[in-house]
Structure 1
Amino acid sequence: MSTTTRTAEQRWSDFRTARDAALAEPHGWLTITSFQWLADSPGALEGVPGTWTGTATHAAVTAESADGLTDLTSGRPVTGTITATLGDEESLSWVAFGGTEGRRVVVELARRAGRYAVRTRDAEAPTLTHFTGVPVFGYRPDLVVEGRFEPFTAPREEMIATAHPDVPGKHRTVGEVVFRLPGEDGEFRLRASQEEAGSLAITFHDRTNGASTAAWRKVVTRRPRPDGTVLLDFNRTINYPSAFSPFGTCPAPVAGNVLAAPVEAGEKRPEDRRDGDRTAAPRMRRVQSRVSG
């Protein structure tokens, strides 16, 4: 193994350490235990104290001191009614309850598709307490490939599915990344969105989905070089939160972002989601996901 490869593999190892540490945060993605829509008239939620409402304009929760709710925006107990207003796709760690300090469970308020919902994040969720790291493929230097970015004249808003059947999504496509994979004929072309500092995010299906990997995954490149070239390191392919929990609203790939080839690199399907994963991978058809000219 060359010095360059060892250095790249060590950087990947550091990336994996940081990734697992981020997932293991006390109220992170591994702690989500429910997703519930709020009704437009006051009502109770399963497993959550208080009375909850979600209208077209705001969300509200009413509680008594005995309910043990703490307003995380002020740090004070909830006695009476508090309200919050969010924009679509926004989320707020709103109130907490349970445990010796009253903050074992954080109730996250979210607005999706114009509706308010709450997700509970329990610091003692088995998904977190039993977590020992995401299973991954071994490092593959051959799956660090160079591609080229072909930007659109203007970004395109495209409708997509999400991991939740009642939550539609949008993908802001800024262009396409074109590349080859080792052992495969022809080029692949995947649409990308733009993240911070100009990096490109690509959500995609491949032929490992539903077997060794989740229904879809994501890889992020650095900002394209001045000549349009980009480096795709598939060893850094990661799962969306919906791979760990059935309560995610994560975006699915835009139509056509399918690799009719196995990408045996990056994160595998979490062991505890191998049964009952409701995010099914599509049937792969080699012809349609190639560039046909």
Structure 2
Amino acid sequence: MNIPPTDPDALLARWRRFRESRNTALASDYGWLTLTSFQWLDNRPAAVELVPGLWSTGGATAFLTAAAPDGLTLAATGEPVDGTIRATLADEESLLWVHYGGGDGRQVLVELAMRAGRYAVRTRDSRSPVFTEFDGVPTFDYRPDLVVEARFLPYPEPVDVPIGTANPLVDGVHRSVGELVFRLPGKDHEFHLQAEEEKLGALTVTFHDETNGETTDEWRKVSTARPRVDSRGNRTVILDFNRAINYPSAFTPYGTCPMPVKNNSLDYRIEAGEKEPAIF
């Protein structure tokens, strides 16, 4: 059901604080807006674009060989890379590994990542125009009618659902812990969205809706607090679509962000939350 109205000025002020925090987080140093490449590593030492050195993978381990004049330094310590260094990651892990470039030698931060069982590097350039020209994500106006109560129906056990990602060469898995069941204004049927569990029991749903490809990116996500038990014994959450946000893949072609599971598509125009950023 729809949430009973409360002080509209307080709700609007709270949403504006959320938006300020969101834009500040996106504009962080070496964040998603600074990505400038995604490159798979070969099993033989080879150059990659935008960064000096020779990069390779031996299966479970990644290697970087460089000389001190190349200007590469370890991100964690600032020590120059002179010789061969190595790192080992588990699948889906990342390591902010080395710096390079600019007057201070720190313009570019190189991330080592393990995706779909393969090593890749992503460059994060602090002078990327997407980052330096960012002035906030466009959003719809606040919609109090798209703040709804949802029942959480947990599964007996989490279910791993294979999914695609923003990178066609990387498959993903959605660990569904249950469904959020709710209604939307003007519709006479209930909607069901599969949810993933985040820290401290919070829930996140990744969804399609009928604005995708027009005013919004191909999919978005929205998070809730931990479910609470109401007076009727139902586990409920507040699902606020004004807090629907883009995945990093909306801002960069170098993301490997998860797509929604097959059934997380709404026959509804969710004209709330973040719009598609006009950056490409």
TM-score range, shorter chain: over 0.9
Structure-1 residue corresponding to 2:30: 27
Q: Secondary structure at the match of 2:177?
A: strand
TM-score by length of 2: 0.96
Which one of 177, 201, 220 corresponds to residue 198 of structure 1?
A: 201
Q: Report the Cα offset of residue 199 of structure 1.
A: 0.6
Structure 1, unpaired ranges of 5+? 274-293
The CA deviation string for residues 159-190 of structure 1, in whole angstroms up to 9 with x for no partner, is 00000000000111000000011112200001
What one-letter code is carried by the residue in structure 2 that aligns with 1:93?
A: L
Q: Report the Cα offset of residue 3 of structure 1.
A: 6.6
Structure-2 residue corresponding to 1:65: 68
Instruction: Decide whether the 8 Å contact of 1:191 with 1:254 is kept in 2.
Output: yes
Structure-2 residue corresponding to 1:228: 235
The CA deviation string for residues 239-268 of structure 1, in whole angstroms up to 9 with x for no partner, is 000000000000000111000110000000
The CA deviation string for residues 122-172 of structure 1, in whole angstroms up to 9 with x for no partner, is 001000111010000000000000010000000011100000000000111
1:263 and 2:270 are equivalent in the alignment: yes
TM-score by length of 1: 0.91
Structure-1 residue corresponding to 2:56: 53
Which one of 102, 106, 109 corresponds to residue 103 of structure 1?
A: 106
Which one of 79, 90, 95 corresponds to residue 93 of structure 2?
A: 90
Structure-1 residue corresponding to 2:151: 148
Structure-2 residue corresponding to 1:253: 260
Percent sequence identity over matched residues? 58
The CA deviation string for residues 30-75 of structure 1, in whole angstroms up to 9 with x for no partner, is 0000000000111000111100002211101000111100111332
The CA deviation string for residues 188-218 of structure 1, in whole angstroms up to 9 with x for no partner, is 0010000011110000000000000000000
Measured in 2, the distance between the counterparts of 1:25 and 1:73 equals 18
1:215 and 2:222 are equivalent in the alignment: no
The CA deviation string for residues 95-130 of structure 1, in whole angstroms up to 9 with x for no partner, is 010111111100000000110000000001000111
The CA deviation string for residues 76-104 of structure 1, in whole angstroms up to 9 with x for no partner, is 00000110000000001000101111111
RMSD, matched Cα: 0.9
Instruction: Decide whether the 8 Å contact of 1:33 with 1:120 is kept in 2.
Output: yes
Instruction: Decide whether the 8 Å contact of 1:192 with 1:200 is kept in 2.
Output: yes
Measured in 2, the distance between the counterparts of 1:234 and 1:47 equals 39
